[in-house]
Each structure stands twice: as structure tokens, then as C-alpha cells.
Amino acid sequence: MYVVCVSLNYQQLPIDVREQLVFSKKELEKANKLLSSEKSILEEVILSTCNRTEVYAVVDQIHTGRYYIKRFLANWFHIDLDQISDWAVIDLKEDAVAHLMRVSTGLESLDRGEPQILGQVKQAFFAAQSFHTTGVILDHLFQQAISFSKKMHTQYRVSELSKTSGQTALHQIKIKLQALEDKTLVIVGMGQMGQHVLKNASTMKFKQIIILNRTNEKAAELAKQYEDNVQMQPWQTLQETVNQADAVIMATSAKQPLLQDGDLSDARLQIIADLGVPRNVASKKLSVNVDYYDIDHLSEIISSNHALTQQMLRQMASHVPNEVTDFYAWQRQLNVVPVIRQLRESALTTEKQVYDSLLHKLPELDAHQRKVISKHMKSIINQMIKEPIKEVKELSAQEDAQVDLAFFCQIFGLKAVEKKKVEKKKEEAGVHED
């Protein structure tokens, strides 16, 4: 049994191609079950997001398995098989396991280290489970990947490091104010940057967010799109509103400062983030006890965050090889691998005996006819042993696995593997070989 990943992703394909290669939620059940019925596919999970469509599968033969995965994708999306082959990135065995670990932690995401992909991986896995297209191997692999990703995002909080001036401003406000449930934030200016800040701030549990814009109607319309804690105030009340806030973010394109040092009171206001260029606040003579950050201050923080982010991503990636090792250490504990190898060898021996007998009885067959017959005979054998392989693989995870495997061997006339010889046999069975 081998783990295979066939990936169509943003690193190779532009958006106009990727958008043609997406499975909708409504299609997933049919797609998973159809792929599961393909030759050599013992287990499978389909992961489909805006940046990637990937198939993770357990196959009994690598060459056959990856061919039928690509053929399935080509047929489903009505694209030539050769084109799919050109686009697809195929990872095998340890590389496929490592790829899933990297994907689930966000290391392969467009925004590297982002945690949202973990939710998408979980949804894909749970969906496949509900469609009964996973088994003991992928169940363990995906559960391990999910646990690994959670651990990495707890240990390395990459997503908390701000990447834009607006995010950095909000992060500095959170550090300054700490608890936000009783605090008021004022955002001045509802251009593109101000709206982005508002969107992020609305998720941060401020008691109140007040927005102001030179065009009052625009501020009022934006406030309606959020919860009741987002309100607008008329532009004419700017000075009064700012002095009622705990924190202020200025994000206008005004050519002259909107606030002077004499306009601010230290009674309540604790921090100002000025995103304007020119600056919205005349900060040189600020005498009140208010922390002030202009765009240069925020840029320095972003630069420092970038260096720290790269360091964290490297640290996260360094844990992946250990996860791959752990997965294969677990897989080697499954006594089923040598049993499957015996079953396949027995079936192929029978196929060869029948094929040789047929040629003896029909000597007039030409080379092409012999090739066609051989191909179809092998196909019959593969289809006949596919279900037994699936069943014995599931038996190996049961508490009484040794008894079940012995019974399975008895039914198919196979030699039961002695416990002390299991490790050696498993290596011979090709756990790490094609």
C-alpha cells in the first residue's frame, strides 16, 4: 500500500485555470465515490479550495494508482489527460505524507502559515469519511496532520504577526488596551484602508466602534453592514468623538492635519495610529499622554514581523520530517503489509499459469492479441483482489487483528506471518519501495 498525492495548485496554475478545476460541496460525494471505485484506489480524500485541488489516495500499485487518479480528474473536468499530466504535481510515499503536513499547517499556502487551510483540510477529510472512502491508513494520516497543524499554530503564532499597516495598528492597540470588551475604537476615514481596518476591528470584541467619514452618508451605509456595536458619527463631531475614545485610527487622505495637539485630551484616549500620508495628526507637539504611531513606526514593526515570520515558518517546516517518520513507524506496526503482498503474488501466479495454458491451447494468437488478453487478465485479477485487500487492511486495525489475519490467510491459502518475522517481512513487502 502506498500514499499518493496528485496536486493541481496555485504554484503551477493561474487563477483562470484553477477556477475550472474546483469541486463544489454538492459534487464531493459523487466525486469521492466515483474515484474510490477506480482500479488500485483503496482509500481517497479530495481537497478542493480556491488555491488547490488535490487527491490523497492509498493505492496498491503506484503506477496504476496515479494513472487512474489523473484519468478521473481529466474525465471529471473534461480536460485532456495529457494536459492534466502536464499540470499535476505528484508526490509519492514519504513526499506525499510530508506534503499533507505542509498543506495542513499553511506552509504551502499563498499566505504562508495561515491557519484557515486547516479547516478546509478537516472538512475534506470528514466529508470523505462520511462517504466511506477513507480507511485505516488515511484516517490515521489525516488525524495526525490535523493534530500536527494545531500544535504548530499553538507553538508558532504566525497568523498573529501583522502584515499590513492596518493590521499592525490594531495589534498595537490590542497590546496597549489589553481587554477590549469595555473599550471604544474610533476609525476616521472610510476609504479602502479604513474599510479594511473596520472589517478586521469588527472581529476583535470592542464594546463600540465609531466610524467617521467626510461623506456622512457613506459612513452611515457602512455602519449598517455590521453589528450594533458599529456606529457612525457626523464628520463635524470629529474632535469630540476622538476624545471619547480609548483608541483612534486615522486613515484619511487629507492634505493637512485634522487634529492638533490642543485638540486631544488625555482623560481617556490612550493610543493613536496615524495611517495618513501626509499625517492626519500634528504629532510633533503632542503633549498628552497618548502613544502615537505614524506609518513609518508601523512599517518598522511590519519589517520586524516579516523576519520573525520567516524564522517561525522555517521552524515549523523543520518538524515535518519527524511527522513523516512517525507515520511510517505507525504503518510498520500494521501486520497487513506482508499479507497483501502474498495475496497479490498468489493472484499473479494464478494469472500467469492460466495465461500460459491459454497460449498453449491457442498457438495461432499473434503478439497484439496476446498483449490484449494479458492486459485484460491482469485487470480481472486486480479487480478481484481489490475488495479483499480493502477488507484485510481494515482488519489489521482491530483489537484481534492477529486472529483475523490468520483466518484471512487460511481462506486464501496464504502463509500466516510469524510475529517475530513481521518487521523483516514488511520491509520485504515494499513499504518504502515502488
| Residue 51, annotated as binding a ligand | yes
- The amino acid sitting at 125 is F
Please name the residues in contact with 324: beta carbons below 8 A apart, sequence gap of 6 or more.
94, 97, 98, 101
| Residue 44, annotated as binding a ligand | no
Cell of 388: 479483499
| Residue 113, annotated as binding a ligand | no
CA torsion through residues 110, 158, 141, 118, sign: negative
357 C-beta neighbours (distance < 10 Å), count:
10
| Residue 413, annotated as binding a ligand | no
| Residue 402, annotated as binding a ligand | no
- Chain-centroid distance of CA 1 in Å reads 24
| Residue 109, annotated as binding a ligand | yes
Is 5 considered catalytic here? no
| Residue 48, annotated as binding a ligand | no
Look at residue 227 and give its three-state secondary structure. Answer: coil
CA torsion through residues 372, 378, 381, 383, sign: negative
Cell of 315: 521552524
| Residue 120, annotated as binding a ligand | yes
| Residue 11, annotated as binding a ligand | no
Out of 20, 30, 50, 81, pick the active-site residue. Answer: 50
Rounded Cα gap, residues 293 and 274, in angstroms: 6
Q: Of 341, 330, 405, whose CA–CA distance to 136 is shortest?
A: 330
| Residue 409, annotated as binding a ligand | no
**CA dihedral of residues 126, 63, 387, 433 (deg, nearest 10):** -90
30 C-beta neighbours (distance < 10 Å), count:
12
State the Rg of the chain over Cα.
Answer: 30
| Residue 192, annotated as binding a ligand | yes
| Residue 135, annotated as binding a ligand | no
| Residue 305, annotated as binding a ligand | no
Catalytic residue numbers read 50
* Binding residue numbers for substrate: 49-52, 109, 114-116, 120
Please report, in range form, the residues annotated as the binding site for NADP(+): 189-194
